[in-house]
């Protein structure tokens, strides 16, 4: 994030909050409508030329929230209420989840998305990440494999039982003494596939690390993956369903999400390669027709929207070609379809042979 605060010290963040509030008070004392200028970030657009200004670390412009606009009054009210809660958390050295914050004023916030947006606005305003605000996520990711690390003084030794699931650390900043003898990192979309690999003792046999975000990955899973790749310098592959949502999850890991574009630099994994399953795998592996589902009208709209993303033109044209095949065929299928003839096909053949032969993009 451009201009990110060089220090994560709570006293520095509190000083920034105090300075911001003083500016608002000055506006009011001078009979000016208080306003807030927020940088705006964007990781993709629909310009296929490659000449766009989308960037992982630079703002593309500013958004002004002002009491002069009636529609902005509620948003500014929420921002200040959430900021007050964050100030209290920092002063008292306590932590809270986004859900905790929502329930402090549910009649005002109305829905969780309102709090989420305010927290994102505050991160942009103070040029920091959520963990600097003592706002902690509720982690859902899992990891297993040839890995050992210390988190906040607690040792996690996955390597003792490589096919046993461990929770992904909530705060990557607390990870120390990370060590591994793994050959690569494999990210799988779903917990069911993660458990299939665990049952097949995939990590034990292939000397690797497997991670799942159990669907769309949360912040801890994405930051942990980024941390692993940076620290261990291992190849990283991703296995998702051959459907629009699987592809969207794939792009979230590699490129980041638009909602948290301001923090994409800390979470995107440009080294990540798509291992499968590809839309073209249906014919390649002779899967039976009953494994297929037709794309819904909503699926097709989602695919068309993703096809227009600029980063697919600039950085991942082969991914785009596979997405076009999905749209042309009009069908989708899950990872588990590969196990139609043998439950162990995925772990015994599909994944190892694709990595060994370089069948990834």
- Catalytic site positions: 103
Six-digit token string for 340: 């139609």
The CB-side HSE value for 167 (13 A sphere, CA atoms) comes to 10
Strands 175-180 and 185-188: unpaired
Closest Cα to residue 265, out of 12, 58, 46, 47?
A: 58
Instruction: Give the whole-angstrom CA distance, residue 175 versus residue 150.
Output: 6
337/332 Cα distance (integer angstroms): 10
Phi then psi for residue 129, to 5 deg, are -105, 170
Structure tokens at 351: 């994944």
CB distance 62 to 39 below 8 Å = yes
Q: Hunting for tokens 């779903």 — which residue is that? A: 190
Q: Which residues pair with 273 in a beta bridge?
A: 237
Residue 137 to residue 97: CA distance in whole angstroms: 6
Burial of 1 (0-12, 13-18, 19+ CB in 10 A): buried
Question: Helix (H, G, I), strand (E, B), or coil: what is residue 21?
Answer: helix
The pair of three-digit structure tokens given for residue 127, joined into one six-digit string: 């040029």
| 145 strand-pairing partners | 209
CA distance 347 to 361: 19
């Amino acid at each position: 994030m451009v201009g990110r605060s060089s220090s994560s010290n709570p006293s520095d963040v509190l000083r920034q909050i105090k300075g911001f509030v003083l500016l608002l008070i000055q506006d009011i004392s001078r009979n000016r409508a208080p306003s807030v200028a927020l940088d705006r970030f964007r990781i993709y657009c629909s310009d296929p030329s490659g000449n766009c200004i989308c960037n992982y670390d630079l703002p593309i412009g500013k958004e002004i929230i002002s009491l002069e606009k009636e529609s902005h009054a509620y948003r500014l009210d929420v921002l200040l209420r959430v900021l007050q809660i964050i100030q209290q958390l920092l002063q008292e050295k306590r932590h809270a989840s986004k859900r905790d914050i929502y329930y402090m004023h549910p009649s005002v916030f109305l829905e969780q998305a309102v709090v989420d947006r305010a927290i994102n606005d505050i991160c942009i305003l103070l040029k920091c990440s959520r963990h600097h605000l003592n706002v902690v996520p509720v982690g859902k990711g899992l990891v297993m494999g040839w890995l050992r690390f210390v988190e906040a003084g607690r040792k996690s030794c996955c390597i003792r039982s490589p096919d046993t699931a461990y929770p992904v650390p909530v705060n990557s900043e607390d990870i120390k003494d990370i060590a591994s003898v793994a050959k690569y990192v494999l990210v799988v979309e779903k917990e069911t596939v993660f458990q299939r690999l665990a049952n097949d003792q995939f990590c034990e046999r292939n000397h690797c690390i497997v991670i799942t975000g159990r669907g769309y990955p949360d912040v801890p899973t994405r930051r942990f993956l980024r941390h692993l790749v940076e620290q261990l310098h291992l190849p990283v592959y991703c296995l998702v369903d051959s459907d629009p949502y699987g592809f969207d999850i794939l792009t979230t890991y590699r490129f980041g999400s638009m909602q948290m574009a301001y923090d994409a630099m800390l979470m995107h994994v440009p080294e990540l390669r798509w291992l499968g399953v590809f839309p073209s795998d249906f014919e390649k592996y002779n899967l039976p027709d009953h494994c297929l589902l037709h794309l819904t009208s909503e699926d097709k709209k989602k695919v068309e929207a993703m096809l227009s993303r600029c980063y697919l033109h600039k950085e991942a044209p082969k991914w785009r070609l596979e997405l076009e095949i999905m749209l042309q065929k009009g069908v989708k299928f899950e990872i588990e379809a590969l196990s139609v003839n043998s439950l162990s096909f995925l772990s015994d053949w599909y994944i190892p042979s694709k990595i060994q032969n370089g069948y990834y993009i």
